Structure 1
Amino acid sequence: MTGVLTVVGLGPGDARHRTPAATTAIADAEAVYGYAAYIEACEDILRPDQIVVRGRMTEEKLRAEQAVDAAAGGRRVVLVSSGDAGVYGMATLALSNAYEIEESVRPAVHVLPGVTAALAASALVGAPLAHDFACLTLSDLLTPWEEVERRLRAVAEADLAIALYNPRSKGRPWQLGRAREVLLERRAPGTPVALVTDIARDGQRVGLTTLADLDCDEVGMTTTVLIGSSTTLRFGDWLVTPRSAAGPRSADDRSAG
């Protein structure tokens, strides 16, 4: 009999942001696969008798194949991802690999949601994503930069608040600066920006600035960059995007939801 593969989103970092469903799935698994740093993030619920496979960065495809094969062999398997497994996470690879297996031996695959970085970062600075918004990655490892830039322009034209993932690293030092230039073609220089680094982890940092004053050197791979729309306001240490283009129309609007 085939087993079950559960793809789990661990949330941004601290175990307090991990869902009870994720905790249960990991605790009940016979085998747990994941990038070493993500395995470390859930070590508090791992058992000595579990098979635990710690992978390396760039081995995502191999990790998904191993997890699917283990589940197809009859085990209860968990594949862990940070944040939400369906947002720049492992769910796509796991589902694609499982679908390629003959249906008679294909394991059941479940995806459990987690708190993604955009939402965790937004909560720390108020409500900048309270209306329509877009999530974009600045990594050009899987998407040509020309396409990334085209999407940036489209989102800027649509006047959506933006959450930028993978904004900058030692190997990709220039993309965020170029993204800032592209956005300034359509966004006012005073557009509010939040930089949230190491969310829910030791050393968490939160900074507020503007699009014009954004210092790219303050941003690393573990930073989530939030960029407001034309309606986003700064109230002290809070960024707030009204839930309508005209802003709240009444006290009822402000308290709704």
Structure 2
Amino acid sequence: MTDQLQRMMKKLEGDGPIEKHILLLKLTEALENAPDFGDKPIMDAASPQRQWLSKVGALLSRLSIERKVQFKSSFTTLIQYWEPAIVQIQGQVLDAMEEIKLELELEDRSDIGSAYAPGDVYRFFADLKEVIASAESEIMIIDPYFNGEAFDAYLASANTELSIQILADRYSKDINTYIQKHSSQFQTHIELRRSKELHDRIIFIDHDVAWIMGGSIKDAGKKATYLIPLQTPIALAKKQIYQEIWSNSKEVECSA
């Protein structure tokens, strides 16, 4: 199956609990950090108000066609009816949040993030696979004990068009063997570096999404652990820290 077909199938299947968690988190952050809209239209592209509207519109559109149509209908009335339209859009955000909460409750996944008991191997595997599958442009994995087996389980079937960076330590040469064989067959470009400065086990997805784990991916489900999304400001701060560590880390030499 091609990467394009996989993405089309994924859209038809709808969002799983992991993606719903992220959408709920983003909508909650947007509502809590909404700018002051005042009583007159502010549509300048650089204004916080216009940026907020763009972000909310993208999130609502991501949920469903119905949500997208509702937002666009309200958006077109902003110039004439600024205050009522803003109230309407904020109401759409609230309605969307409640809809996601209900869906998660019905799926028995109400809490954002998950805890896993020892032996809960498959549920962790399925959730982490969904986290990785949600990436549209890039993935960065931070895990000092990430190994070749973990690469094979979680990254071998990832979209080959993604930019993938792995920052590990102890099993770097083992991972590198898998990467070389994978790249040779699928022409993927996966970067691997090693560092002794790793403290977290964290996965960065695209620009501003990050999931932190309670243990190494290689021990997923074998030991008690958790998988929790970070709030956007924390995710961005963490990403900056690890991008600096990446810049100063060592490239892993190719195996003979």
The verdict on a shared fold, with TM-score over 0.5 as the criterion, is no
TM-score of the aligned structures, taking structure 2 as reference length: 0.24
TM-score of the aligned structures, taking structure 1 as reference length: 0.24
Higher strand share: 1
